Amino acid sequence: MKPNRVEVLAIGDELLDGRVADTNTLRLADQLSFYNIRINQRTTITDDIDVIIREIKNIAERKTELCVVSGGLGPTSDDVTAEAFAALSGEELIRDEKTIQKIKQRLQQFNRPVTENQLKQADRPKSSELLINPVGSAVGFQLKYKNCLFVALPGVPKEFDSMVNDHILQPFKNLELRPLEKKVFRSFGLFEAQVDELLSDLPKKWPVIRLGYRAHFPEIAISLKASPEHSEQLQEAQKFVREKLGKSLFSETQGGFAETLIECLKSQSKTLSLAESCSGGLAGHLLTEVPGASEVFSVGLITYSNKSKTEILGVKEDTLKKFGAVSEETVTEMANQVRSMAKTDYGLAISGIAGPGGGTKEKPVGTIWIALSLEHEIITKKLELFFDREKNKIISAHSALDLLRRRLQY
């Protein structure tokens, strides 16, 4: 049955002494939201058996129906979650034989001794139900206390997530609870406030759709969620989002920004070279994060000084003297030159003032010129940014790649 009241009990000294943030609850909440289930409360406590028992009692008393317990099942002596549950109901711990074998095998593989603390990870209260951990050593377990089902899972995020899926979400699916459908759009080139403005009519037109934003600088992800019976509205709302975002929309899948550009280049059998000044290699780095980038990207020249712009890249000294390094004229020559040197279909160039120093009254910090050189055409754009050095570099590199991405994708 779908639980009405859900809590999280997060156990571990490391969660309260400044070492580790509890991100398990965050991801669990996101997963549960697909079933329209909310977490009502989270209690974070230290590895103290009396405190654990006290809080289990409090949680059950609040008429909680499902409590996900995270942590305290590991191999160190302060891991006492299983002990606490056993003590609560006055029963003994039992050790899972299969898990013991698995632990022994793993330790032997790494030439490490089999200690009592390691074996302790196979322990669970006798009356509990064993929950298999497919990716780690410690077992999980679940048991009912009063009217609350406690599901105790290891706190290691990879293990926690995997077991949430197997032992919480899967049972929901078996109950034929149908998760919300979710669609994510990824955009570049708009601020969150602009996206919000563009999509402001969406909640009015389709009140059954849950609209969300998440900013991953410099991108904005837009998510739509709806229950399966509102599938048609979800389709309509998707169309609305596509129309409103226009060319800012670069992906409707998990595909990243650079990945999208590289896919476009590959599918059109085109190649790209880069001439970077203020972005300092970041555009090249972004492209080469994508496996297989070498099929379309062969050369990037980081010409950070004026001298290197003339000597390495062949920009005319006159151009630099007359217009400066941060100018439409210079960035045009940079893009044309790198395209011709690298013999690629496209050449992209970036030159600007990332800051904090180097600004003038005419060209303040944040002035960036970008250019895209094509066979019979040059496209240039001036950016006037107001971020710090790091973000100015990020926007510069992305904007240059985006000139080409928009051209190829739409």
Binding of a second copy at residue 111 (CB under 8 A)?
A: no
Binding of a second copy at residue 215 (CB under 8 A)?
A: no
Compute the least distance from the CB of residue 95 to a second copy, in Å.
28
Binding of a second copy at residue 342 (CB under 8 A)?
A: yes
Q: Which helix (H) or strand (E) holds 224?
A: strand 219-226
Compute the least distance from the CB of residue 366 to a second copy, in Å.
14
From 5, 42, 102, 266, residue interacting with a second copy (rule: CB under 8 A) = 42
Closest CA to 45 of 86, 16, 82, 78: 16
Q: Is residue 89 within 8 Å of 60, Cβ to Cβ?
A: no
Q: Which helix (H) or strand (E) holds 129?
A: strand 129-131
Closest CA to 74 of 42, 45, 107, 47: 47
Give, in order, the Cα–Cα distances in Å from 359 to each of 187, 318, 362, 368, 387: 30, 22, 8, 11, 13
Query: How far apart are alpha carbons 363 and 385 in whole angstroms?
Result: 11
Two structure tokens written together for 157? 């995020």
Contact pattern from residue 350 through residue 389 relative to a second copy, giving x for each residue in contact according to CB under 8 A and a dash for the rest: ----xxxx-------------------------------x
Tokens 């009217």 belong to: 147
Compute the least distance from the CB of residue 374 to a second copy, in Å.
20
From 218, 255, 256, 280, residue interacting with a second copy (rule: CB under 8 A) = 280
Binding of a second copy at residue 180 (CB under 8 A)?
A: no
Binding of a second copy at residue 60 (CB under 8 A)?
A: no
Two structure tokens written together for 383? 């950016």
Residue count, binding to a second copy (CB under 8 A): 66
Q: Is residue 164 within 8 Å of 151, Cβ to Cβ?
A: no
Query: How far apart are alpha carbons 50 and 166 in whole angstroms?
Result: 30
Contact pattern from residue 236 through residue 275 relative to a second copy, giving x for each residue in contact according to CB under 8 A and a dash for the rest: --------------------------------------x-
For a second copy, which is the closer residue by CB, 30 or 229?
30
For residue 333, the one-letter residue type is E
For a second copy, which is the closer residue by CB, 298 or 380?
298
Binding of a second copy at residue 23 (CB under 8 A)?
A: yes
Please name the residues in contact with 123: beta carbons below 8 A apart, sequence gap of 6 or more.
Answer: 82, 83, 93, 94, 95, 96, 139
Binding of a second copy at residue 221 (CB under 8 A)?
A: no
For a second copy, which is the closer residue by CB, 74 or 284?
284
Compute the least distance from the CB of residue 44 to a second copy, in Å.
4
Q: Is residue 396 within 8 Å of 370, Cβ to Cβ?
A: yes
Closest CA to 70 of 11, 144, 150, 157: 11
Compute the least distance from the CB of residue 16 to a second copy, in Å.
5
For a second copy, which is the closer residue by CB, 41 or 127?
41
Binding of a second copy at residue 294 (CB under 8 A)?
A: yes
Q: Is residue 287 within 8 Å of 297, Cβ to Cβ?
A: yes
DSSP string, 371-401: EEEETTEEEEEEEE--S-HHHHHHHHHHHHH
From 289, 317, 318, 384, residue interacting with a second copy (rule: CB under 8 A) = 289
Query: How many other CB atoms are there within 10 angstroms of residue 332's CB atom?
Result: 22
Binding of a second copy at residue 312 (CB under 8 A)?
A: yes
Binding of a second copy at residue 71 (CB under 8 A)?
A: no
Binding of a second copy at residue 308 (CB under 8 A)?
A: yes
Query: How far apart are alpha carbons 11 and 29 in whole angstroms?
Result: 17
Please name the residues in contact with 30: beta carbons below 8 A apart, sequence gap of 6 or more.
Answer: none
For a second copy, which is the closer residue by CB, 15 or 148?
15
Binding of a second copy at residue 90 (CB under 8 A)?
A: no
Binding of a second copy at residue 347 (CB under 8 A)?
A: no
Binding of a second copy at residue 117 (CB under 8 A)?
A: no
- Contacting positions for a second copy (CB under 8 A): 15-23, 25-30, 33, 38-46, 51, 58, 212, 274, 276, 278-285, 287-289, 291-294, 297-305, 307-308, 312, 341-342, 354-357, 389-390, 393
